[in-house]
Structure 1
């Protein structure tokens, strides 16, 4: 009887140990399951994010590709437009050159070609346009220079006594004209020509240079300086055509 009881007790003890071990294993497995579940969720989340990012990148690349194609089309259109504009400019420039050459080379005096366009006066190596306009059409010094630029010329730059004498004689005094703008003005306390050179013959204008003052010429009168904003007649100059 004791042997049986002892055997039962031993079996019971063994069962309790196994139960304890099983519970321990169960706890471990539960923890592992929790960890695996958490890892799985994280991996799933990371995978979802990566898929989303890749999808966005693909969409962005598709949009960029579409934009590049559109830009290329626009550039091609611009190229074609510019090509047409260049051809138009070339044609216009050719027509202008032909017109200028025709005006320069109009026949006069025993069929000899003139060195200046019609309406311009030739002296030495230059052509001059004397703009003795009505009072309402007179210009400031800057406006006069802009007008000369449009005529592919500049306000007169005098380089010799002979040229000054010619200019003085063509700066006619009439119609209330008080002076003709030439390409000389005061800059930084010096008289400077519009081409950037300094006035070398100070005898030509007795007044001291004062900034914002420009020089006028008038027949039978010394050169004088007045405010550049006053309105006067003006004289343009360009190189004569060599023929």
Structure 2
């Protein structure tokens, strides 16, 4: 009677990937137990006994059939075991390839993520550097802004001051412009006066020569032999001491105002009579006779600034004459009445005086 044999087959599937957790390691080893049944001699004997009366040949054939059946069953079990092993190997290979593919993908992803992390780290460092630079620039700009604000405040104050000064200078400029225009007008007037004076001087120069000739002819007229004989006074003039006098007994239509009378005397190389002493005053009064239509004769005395003044600029010192000074009044000499104060605009005769020629 043969002993029962139990055969065990152990199949271990391993991958070349990284170790997996402990739970998965336990699943790596799969044990399959395959029990191959064999007929023991005791069972055969029992069968022979139960056959009893079968012939040995029949028992032997039956024995061979059992053996054949056992061999078939063993072969089937081996084939089944091989199939199981093949399926296990296939599953192991499939699972391993899947894990390898996933690991490769994970490695690639990890590499990509590491590269991205590296780039992000670089970008982060750059951003930190830029942030530091920006913070530094911001601080600098804050300082500059403070300085500019202070400078702007000073500039605004300066601008206000300059504006006030500019307005003041503008006002002064306008004042100076007005004064300048006025001065230009005055200069133009002075130029005009200068030209007029130059013309008058030219005429006076021309006239002075003529007047000198006239004066010579008046004081020293030529006789029939064309010889000159000079006299102290001009013809028709009265001689008294060192002066000559012209008594103008003009008709009423030819009488003149005080200014007109003075102009007439000036044209005769003389001026209205200025009386300097009592002898001259008596001579003037004696010759101030009342002619027909003449009530008096102008002399060189008039009121200026509320005072009686002679035309030579001296003040009246005659204490015996007490006519009050009235602006616009001049003095006339009336025979046997002395001097009288009348309006300078009246028309009267006049007395001219000049210095006698020394012979």
TM range (shorter): 0.5 to 0.7
The question of whether the paired residues in 1 share the 8 Å contact of 2:323 and 2:340 is answered with no
Residue in structure 1 matching 2:213, options 87, 95, 98: 98
**1:218 and 2:325 matched:** no
**1:156 and 2:263 matched:** no
What's the CA shift string for 1:75-97, capped at 9, x where partnerless?
A: xxx9xx99x95666544433332
The question of whether the paired residues in 2 share the 8 Å contact of 1:183 and 1:215 is answered with yes
What is the CA-CA distance between 1:14 and the residue it aligns to? Answer: 4.7
The question of whether the paired residues in 2 share the 8 Å contact of 1:186 and 1:209 is answered with no
Runs of at least 5 residues in structure 1 that lack an aligned partner in the other structure: 28-77
| Larger Rg belongs to | 2
TM-score, length of structure 2 as denominator length: 0.42
The question of whether the paired residues in 2 share the 8 Å contact of 1:107 and 1:114 is answered with no
> More strand per residue: 1 or 2?
1
Residue in structure 1 matching 2:245, options 128, 135, 157: 128
1:44-63 aligned within 5 A: none
Runs of at least 5 residues in structure 2 that lack an aligned partner in the other structure: 1-106, 135-191
1:1-243 aligned within 5 A: 1=107, 4-14=111-121, 16-17=123-124, 90-107=205-222, 112-186=229-303, 191-203=308-320, 205=321, 207-212=322-327, 213-243=329-359
Paired residue secondary structure (2:350): strand
Distance 1:125 1:155 in 2: 16
Higher RCO by CA contacts (8 Å cutoff, separation 6 or greater):
1
In structure 2, do the counterparts of structure 1 residues 209 and 105 end up closer, same or farther at CA, with 3 Å as the change threshold? same
Distance 2:254 2:277 in 1: 30
Number of aligned pairs?
187
Distance 2:253 2:344 in 1: 17
Paired residue secondary structure (1:93): helix
| Alignment root-mean-square deviation, CA | 4.0
